[in-house]
Amino acid sequence: MKQIIFILFAITIIGCNSNHKTGDLLGTWDCISSTDIKTEEISLPEGDESLIVEFRRDSFIIPSLLIDSLFITKNSYGWKIKGDSILIEGLGSVYIKELTPSSLTVEMDFSGEQRLTFRKIK
């Protein structure tokens, strides 16, 4: 019985590996919701309002405009993944709550504790 419990415990620990791969994050992501972690108040984009970010191998870009798939860059930062966080040069780090090929959820504390949910658009 102890061996079965040990095997289940080992599988659980292996399954909880939070080391995300850099390649999983590359691409263009559109923010579909923002949640205030303290109040659990959810904000959805309204009208033309959107937050689109792009992760390239050498930079993290927050475009100010997206016109016919052409990005007019507002801010660009270096970045890397360390464990379960994205370290963004000059801004700090964000915790990766979920990362799949089509969705990304991060938690951050830049201007209040927020959870941002993104969907991959390319």
Task: Say which CATH number the domain at 64 has.
Answer: 2.40.128.280
Q: What is the number of structural domains in the chain?
A: 1
Nearest to 46 by CA among 64, 55, 34, 28: 34
Please, what is the average pLDDT of the chain?
75
Instruction: Note the pLDDT of residue 69.
Output: 52
The yes-or-no verdict on residue 17 having pLDDT over 60 is no
Q: Which structural domain range is residue 38 located in?
A: 19-120
Q: What is the pLDDT of residue 60?
A: 79
Q: Is residue 7 part of a domain?
A: no
Asked, for residue 77, whether it belongs to a domain, the answer is yes
**Residue 51 within a domain:** yes
User: Could you read off the pLDDT of 45-66 as tens digits, one per residue?
Assistant: 776 667 788 888 888 777 654 4
Residue 10 lies in a domain: no
- Residue 119 in this model has a pLDDT that exceeds 90: yes
Across the range 85-102, mean pLDDT stands at 88
